[in-house]
Amino acid sequence: MMQHIQGNFGIDQGEVMPFSHFENDGPMWSGTGEREVCHRVTFAVPFARPPVVHVSVTMWDLAAEVAARLDIRSQKIDQEGFTLRAGTWSDSRIARLRVSWLAFGACRDDDMWEIG
């Protein structure tokens, strides 16, 4: 869906490591079947409306002897932040993951009053 933004426009970015499971045999490393990890990300400054959020893998450490399967996405996006979801399935073994994110959208304007 195209967002038409008038007025102030903001961009926030960051990088998170939602899990590092090889150290403690966590489920993404030692489990099988469908598994997921959700990590809440908070923006530095709230947006005026839920922004568009793009996520991408910047580091992926996985076992070499099994298939590489990964699904990442941003979910539950609101003005304050979003939830990063990372999932895998079958016999894939992911030791750790680092994800970069970029959020862009309308910013609050301190000169605009909200009367309600």
pLDDT in tens, 39-62: 999 999 999 999 999 999 999 999
pLDDT for 114 equals: 56
Where do the H-state alpha helices sit in the chain?
27-30
Q: CA 48 to CA 107: how far, in whole Å?
A: 5
The pTM score is: 0.85
3-class SS at 27? Answer: helix
Give backbone dihedrals phi and psi of 63, rounded to 5 degrees, phi first: -70, 140
User: ∠49-50-54 over CA atoms, to 5°?
Assistant: 140
Using the Cα atoms of residue 81, residue 70, residue 17 and residue 55 in order, give the sign of their dihedral. Answer: negative
pLDDT for 112 equals: 54
Across residues 57-79, what is the average pLDDT?
Answer: 95
pLDDT for 8 equals: 86
The two structure tokens encoding residue 25? 């045999």
pLDDT for 1 equals: 66
Answer whether 69's CB lies under 8 Å from 90's CB.
Answer: yes
Task: Strands of 8-93 (E only): list them.
Answer: 9-20, 35-42, 52-62, 71-75, 81-88
